[in-house]
Amino acid sequence: MRTVELGRSGLKVSAIGLGGVQFSKVSAAQVKRVIGAALEEGINFLETAYGYFDSEEKMGPALRGRRDGLVLASKTWIRDGATFAQHMETSLRRLGTDCIDLYQLHGVDSQADMDACLKPGGPVEVAMRARQAGKIRSLGLTTHSLDIALAAAGMDIFESIQYPISLVNTEVRGSGLLGKAARNGVGLIAMKPLGGGRLGDPRLALGYVYRFRNVVPVVGVETPQQVRELAAIARRPPALKTADQAAIARLRRTVGKRFCRACRYCEPCPRKITIFKGMYFPVYIQQMGVDRVLGKGLPDYLKDIEKCTACRTCEKRCPFGLDIVNGLKDSLALARELLAQKD
C-alpha cells in the first residue's frame, strides 16, 4: 500500500483511510472482519468519532492485539474543556488504547466554533495537555467550511485538516488550501470522498481525489469486500479518461444540485429550519441506517421542514445554487416512506 506523511505530524498513513461511522450499522463480528481485511490490504489508517454511536466500542475488541502500526483517529464536537477531556478518556477506553494517534476537533464549522475551541481552558488547551501526557500524538480538526480550513492551515496548532473533497465538492481547487497546508506542514484528509455514497463508482470518485497530491481520503465501510475494492484503487489510482470525465460531468449535473456541503452558509432560516440536516438526511440514512435515524419517529429537524414557506432566502445564500426547497421536501417524503415501511 502507498503511504502518505500526514503533514508535520510524523504520522505515516495508508493512501486510504477507513471511516467508522457505518460500523454502528453492522455487528461487532463484522467490524472485526472489516478491520482484518484492512490490515491484510495494508490499510493502517482508521478513523472514528466519540459520537458515532457504538463505533468505538465495536472497534476496541477488533483492534486487540493488532494495535501496532495502526494510525487511530477519533474526534469529538464538544466545545467545553472538561467534557472534551471526558470524551477523550472515553474514546481511549472504548478503543482499548493508551494513545490516539490523531485527535480531531469535530465539525468546527464557524468562527464561533473555532473561538470556543481556542478559549482558555477549552478543547485546544486540553488537547495540548493530553499530548504532553502522551494520550494523543497529534491534533487536527474537521470542518465543512473552507474559510475555517484556510484559517486552520495557517495556525501552528493543527497538524491535519479534514475537509470535504470530492468530484462534487470541488471548492478546494483554486482556493489556496492545498498550497497553504503543504507549506505549513498540515496534512489534508478528504472527508466524504464518495459523497456519502451518492457518487456511484468509487474508481471515478477516488480517481478525482487522488489528483490532489498527498490528500488522504477517508471512506466509511461496512464489508471486507468494500475494503478490498478501495485498497485496489488506492494502490493504483486510475488515470481518468475522456469517458470518465463525461461521466463525472453527468454526475455533477444530476447529483450536484442536491449535494449539500453542510457549510451552513444558507442559515439562518426565518422558520428556524436546520437546513443542512434536512438536506443531509439521505446521507444520515446511508451512514447510520433507518433504525438509528428514525427509531424514535421523525426527528425535529425533519418535522420542521413542514414550516418551510418556500421563501427561498436560503437558496439565495447557498454558494452552490442548491435546490433547497425541493431537497428538503424530498427528505421529508423519504423519511415518511421509510417510516411507513417500518410499520
Cell representation of residue 187:
496534512
- In DSSP terms, 46 is beta-bridged to 18, 72
Shortest approach of ligand SF4 to residue 314 CB, angstroms? Answer: 3
Nearest to ligand SF4 of 103, 276 (CB atom): 276
Q: Residue 6 gets which letter from DSSP?
A: -
| Closest approach of ligand SF4 to the CB of residue 194, in Å | 17
> Judged by CB, which is closer to ligand SF4: 136, or 308?
308
Beta bridge partners of 49: none
- Which C-beta is closer to ligand SF4: that of 270 or that of 297? 270
Q: Report the residue number, 151 or 157, with the smaller CB distance to ligand SF4.
A: 151
User: Minimum distance from CB of 172 to ligand SF4 (Å)?
Assistant: 15
Pick between residue 234 and residue 328 the one whose CB is nearest to ligand SF4: 328
CB of 268 to ligand SF4, least distance (A): 8
Cβ of residue 212: shortest distance to ligand SF4, in angstroms? 21
Joined grid coordinates for residue 119: 478559549
Q: How far is CA 155 from CA 17, 115, 160, 183, in A?
A: 24, 13, 11, 12
CA gap 340, 343 in Å, rounded: 5
Spatial separation of the C-alpha atoms in residues 268 and 218, rounded to whole Å: 30
Phi and psi, residue 308, nearest 5°: -65, 130
C-alpha pair distances (Å), 268 with each of 46, 143, 193, 251:
35, 19, 27, 29
Lookup: cell for 116: 470556543
> Which uninterrupted H or E stretch holds 216?
strand 215-220
Q: Given the complex with ligand SF4, which of 84 and 280 has the nearer CB atom?
A: 280
Q: Residue 119 or residue 271: which is nearer to ligand SF4 going by CB? A: 271
Q: Which is nearer to ligand SF4, 246 or 333 (CB)?
A: 333
Radius of gyration of the chain (CA): 19
CB of 316 to ligand SF4, least distance (A): 9
CA distance 196 to 320: 18
Q: How far is the CB of 306 from ligand SF4 (least distance, A)?
A: 10
Contacts of 303 (CB under 8 A, 6+ apart): none
Of all helices (H) and strands (E), which one includes residue 34?
helix 28-40
Beta bridge partners of 217: 190
**Residues of the shown chain interacting with ligand SF4 in the complex, contacts defined by CB under 6 A:** 260-266, 269-271, 273, 275-276, 279, 308-314, 318, 320, 322, 324-325
With contact defined as beta carbons under 8 Å apart, do 289 and 24 qualify? Answer: yes
